[in-house]
Amino acid sequence: MRLFGSYTSPFVRHCRIAFAQVQLPFEFVETDYAQSAEGSPTQRVPFLRIDDQQLSDSTSILKFVREAQGHTFLPDLSECELYCLANTLLDTTINLFLLERDGLTLDAAPYLKRQFARILATLGLLEQQNWDNVPLDDGVLRLCCYLDWAIFRNRVDLSPYPKLLALLDHAKSDPDFAATAPPQ
């Protein structure tokens, strides 16, 4: 079983955490943009090769890992909703990050400003929740992978969100989460 990805991708990180949690052996293959364009129809990481089968999205990879160990992936609606909100944060922030690398800043188009407003609105909603002693399920892990990546890439000022920062600190105390942190 081979997981293709990068050490900095929050999507790949979540998969690596899941593999570590269930102690499922795999080979990690560091992959760049050109290699992911060749290796996956989605032209992104992660993707997983299991014998003759390929999974081309982190969600299907996580479902495979969890269910291979007899667990249900996203077993309740609130966890699924949190996972989806975190995915929205990830997709939106990463798109803005990549557009900025290509020279398009928030001032380039009203659409980009709306995307940034979407990020802030979602963070504001999540800040209102009680995160005390929550288990590190896949919804929380997805959110914490986002938060840590946003800090790593300096994408969003998270200082107005002390509850989310406390949640991230809670996740950082988990050995599997800590072991998969982006390289500094």
Q: What predicted TM-score, i.e. pTM, was given to this entire model?
A: 0.97
DSSP E strand stretches across the chain: 2-5, 27-30, 47-50, 53-55
User: Which residues, including other chains, have CB under 8 Å from residue 95's CB and lie 6 or more apart?
Assistant: 115
Q: Which residues in the chain are classed under CATH 3.40.30.10? A: 2-68
Q: What is the pLDDT of residue 33?
A: 84
Mean pLDDT score, 123-129: 99
Which of 34-38, 80-84, 139-143 is least confident? 34-38
**The domain defined by 2-68 carries CATH number 1.10.357.10:** no
Calculate ∠ Cα 143-89-32, nearest 5°: 90
**For the CA atoms of the chain, what is the radius of gyration?**
16
> Could you tell me the maximum CA-CA distance found in the chain, to the nearest angstrom?
48
Residues 23-57: tens digit of each pLDDT = 999 999 999 888 988 988 988 899 999 999 999 99
Tokens of 103: 């020279």
Give pLDDT, residue 72. Answer: 96
Q: What tokens does 148 get? A: 């840590």
Nearest to 144 by CA among 66, 65, 82: 82
Q: How many percent of the chain have pLDDT more than 90?
A: 93
Other Cβ atoms within 10 Å of 82 Cβ, number: 21
Could you tell me which residues come within 8 angstroms of residue 40 by beta carbon, excluding any fewer than 6 positions away?
4, 47, 54, 56
CATH class of 77-179: mainly alpha
**Residue intervals in the chain for CATH 1.20.1050.10:** 77-179
